[in-house]
């Protein structure tokens, strides 16, 4: 985690709910964001991310719950009294104003004098690497430049908290990836608490200290990117973050069993779990010829039939039907060394899963 700027504030969200009639857009959500942390709200369309962000900003009124910025309850404060900078997905810049006038706008609202306004605009333009653009018209800028101006306008008054709603969704893939790194760098330099919304899991993993995943208005899990990937709380998270196949396993007195095979597991999951599943990340399975590797304390070996092999450039995706009948995906890197183990469709294969990569998740969620 980055060190917080002296002025950065923690955010405490407690039992926050927003209903539209009987529909719960945000349903009893509680978590904390540390001072200076970069946290992303991630989830499928309609899961309540924007509604939550709007409640933090003060544009939507919750039905219940509390939002504290530091030690201040802000639930009854209007947006401009919350000391929050905001960047929206469609930039929301004023087209009739120049770049400089756009950026100076929040300073004018706060009655900052002209000389200081000009100085701060110059400094923030340096920061977003658009020095010398103050006189330009908004219509003369590219999408990425507009996004940087929107960011400059959101941070020019040095808010203690920055909120961003899908800030990069209008940009093409390459620019989006560059901007992800740039925004993260800017956050690290300024150290403000930042909360961003996205439905792009790669963007969330790239930019964030922690990610809060939402499902149907509820917080499903909040964790670091690597914990979300390695230790998903349930099948929904495992499915949403990265690729995964799942096979049903049974509890027996000896341990968890797939077909008639006792599993060697890194994590047997919560003992009370109903419907345990073995999570199989495609890149963690390796393909070998039948009988080439034996099961032991350190690894699991599953036998099956290769069904299809799809070339995807840097890797190949191979579909295998395991003998008990479940179909799983295996990703094999496209290296010459791996080609010897590459099956054709219809060939028998063994799949090797090392014990540390064998994790159980619950079907619930
Ligand atoms: P997306 O990724 O598509 O932007 P989201 O996770 O940000 O989705 P929200 O915009 O927070 O989702 O919406 C959550 C749910 O609340 C959705 O089902 C939406 O239809 C509903 N909703 C949002 N605003 C209203 C409203 N003013 N009246 C009724 N329902 C609403």
CB of 43 closer than 6 angstroms to any ligand 1 atom? yes
CB of 18 closer than 6 angstroms to any ligand 1 atom? no
Residue 180 has pLDDT above 80, yes or no: yes
Average pLDDT over residues 215-219: 95
- Is-contact 314 334, C-beta < 8 A? yes
- pLDDT tens sequence across 2-52: 455 557 899 999 999 999 999 999 999 999 999 999 999 999 999 999 999
For ligand 1, what atom is nearest to the CA of residue 43?
6
Mean residue pLDDT of the chain comes to 90
CB of 46 closer than 6 angstroms to any ligand 1 atom? yes
Say whether 103 sits in a helix, a strand or coil: helix
- Residue among 351, 75, 74, 24 at smallest CA distance from 215: 24
Domain 243-362 sits in which CATH superfamily?
A: Nucleic acid-binding proteins (2.40.50.140)
CB of 49 closer than 6 angstroms to any ligand 1 atom? yes
Ligand 1 centroid, distance to 14 Cα (angstroms): 20
Q: Where do the domains of the chain lie?
A: 11-236, 243-362
CATH (residue range 11-236): 3.40.50.300
- 1: pLDDT confidence band, cut at 50, 70 and 90? very low
Average pLDDT over residues 206-216: 95
- pLDDT tens sequence across 99-132: 999 999 989 988 889 999 999 999 889 888 889 9
pLDDT for residue 91: 60
- 90: pLDDT confidence band, cut at 50, 70 and 90? low
Return d(Cα 269, Cα 70) in angstroms, integer: 36
Beta strands in 199-270 (DSSP E): 210-215, 218-223, 245-248, 250-252, 255-258, 261-262
Q: Choose the residue to mutate in 25, 29, 62, 220 for probing ligand 1, maximizing ligand atoms within 8 Å of C-beta.
A: 25
Residue 261 has pLDDT above 60, yes or no: yes
């Amino acid at each position: 985690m980055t060190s917080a700027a002296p002025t950065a504030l923690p955010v405490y969200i407690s039992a926050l709910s927003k209903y539209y009639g009987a529909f719960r857009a945000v349903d009893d959500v509680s978590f904390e964001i540390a001072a200076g942390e970069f946290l992303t709200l991630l989830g499928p369309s309609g899961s309540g991310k924007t509604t939550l962000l709007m409640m933090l900003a003060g544009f939507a009124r919750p039905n219940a719950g509390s939002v504290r910025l530091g030690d201040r309850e802000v639930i009854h404060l209007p947006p401009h009294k919350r000391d929050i900078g905001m960047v929206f997905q469609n930039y929301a810049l004023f087209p009739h104003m120049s770049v400089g006038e756009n950026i100076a706008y929040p300073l004018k609202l706060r009655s900052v004098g002209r000389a200081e306004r000009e100085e701060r605009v110059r400094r923030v333009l340096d920061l977003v690497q658009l020095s010398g653009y103050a006189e330009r018209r908004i219509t003369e800028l590219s999408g990425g430049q507009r996004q940087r101006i929107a960011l400059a306008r959101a941070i020019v008054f040095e808010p203690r908290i920055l909120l961003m709603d899908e800030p990069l969704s209008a940009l093409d893939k390459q620019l989006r990836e560059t901007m992800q790194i740039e925004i993260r760098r800017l956050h690290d330099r300024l150290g403000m608490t930042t909360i961003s919304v996205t439905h792009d899991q790669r963007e969330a993993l790239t930019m964030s200290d922690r990610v809060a995943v939402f499902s149907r208005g509820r917080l499903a899990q909040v964790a670091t990117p690597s914990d979300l990937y390695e230790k998903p709380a349930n099948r929904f998270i495992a499915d949403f973050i990265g690729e995964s196949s799942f096979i049903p396993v049974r509890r027996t007195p000896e341990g968890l069993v797939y077909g008639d095979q006792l599993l060697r597991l890194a994590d047997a999951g919560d003992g009370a779990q109903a419907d345990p599943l073995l999570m199989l990340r495609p890149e963690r399975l390796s393909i070998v010829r039948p009988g080439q590797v034996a099961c032991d304390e350190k690894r699991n070996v599953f036998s099956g039939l290769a069904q299809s092999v799809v070339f995807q450039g840097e890797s190949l995706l191979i579909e295998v039907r395991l003998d008990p009948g479940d179909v799983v995906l295996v990703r094999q890197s496209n290296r010459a060394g791996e080609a010897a183990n590459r099956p054709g469709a219809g060939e028998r294969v063994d799949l090797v899963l090392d014990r540390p990569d064998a994790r159980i998740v619950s079907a619930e969620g």
